[in-house]
Amino acid sequence: MNIIIFGPQGSGKGTQAQLLSETFGMHHISSGDILRDGATLGDKKCQKLKKLLDAGELVPDKEIISIIKEHIKEDDNIFDGFPRTLEQAHELDDIIEIDLVIELNIPDEEVIKRMKLRKRDDDKEELIKKRLEHYHDETEPLIEYYRPRGIVHTINANRPIQEIFNDLVKIVEKNK
């Protein structure tokens, strides 16, 4: 089974993707972590892209697609942060079948509140707002791209981690 988790930064998608991967033995593919870890470990391509990441911009489709392709397993992938554009979604469709799409829904004001409590250096307010804009303009429309397949589940993410996770487990179990 292959799952995509959508949600703006601060929606808890990374945490939920990690919990799902541990519970169901799935392969967690976090595009943000791959870029950040690559840059820290001295990967030249990731270091170049890190500048865009720090500026709150999306990295070019071609670059992120080639990086993510190296991480995709034959089955049981959980995508966290990818795809973020229609071009990325099309590319992913050429590689594997997506079985489940989870949308973590949370108001922008709550995201801003949560992100201000985080201490990451890319979490300044104008960057938070820029990322939210990218999410609403480019990534959120992807949910409509998947919806006709009947695989989209929208979850209220403005709740405690465990409550959200319990809902996700039920959805995954039902679709296994």
Could you list the residues that contact ligand AMP (CB under 6 A)?
9, 31-32, 35, 52-53, 57-59, 64, 81-84, 88, 131
How near is the Cβ of 22 to ligand AMP at its closest, in Å? 19
C-alpha 168/C-alpha 163 separation (Å) is: 9
How near is the Cβ of 174 to ligand AMP at its closest, in Å? 27
The answer to whether 117 and 14 have CB atoms below 8 angstroms apart is no
The answer to whether 85 and 139 have CB atoms below 8 angstroms apart is yes
Q: Which is nearer to ligand AMP, 4 or 168 (CB)?
A: 4
Q: Which is nearer to ligand AMP, 52 or 95 (CB)?
A: 52
Q: How much of the chain is helix, strand and coil, in % rounded to 5?
A: 55, 15, 30
Q: Which is nearer to ligand AMP, 82 or 165 (CB)?
A: 82
How near is the Cβ of 38 to ligand AMP at its closest, in Å? 11
How near is the Cβ of 1 to ligand AMP at its closest, in Å? 21
Q: Which is nearer to ligand AMP, 107 or 176 (CB)?
A: 107
C-alpha 131/C-alpha 62 separation (Å) is: 19
Q: Which residue is nearest to ligand AMP (CB)?
A: 32
- Residue 145: phi and psi, rounded to 5, are -65, -40
- Residue 150, sorted as left (phi over 0), alpha (psi -120 to 50) or beta, turns out to be left
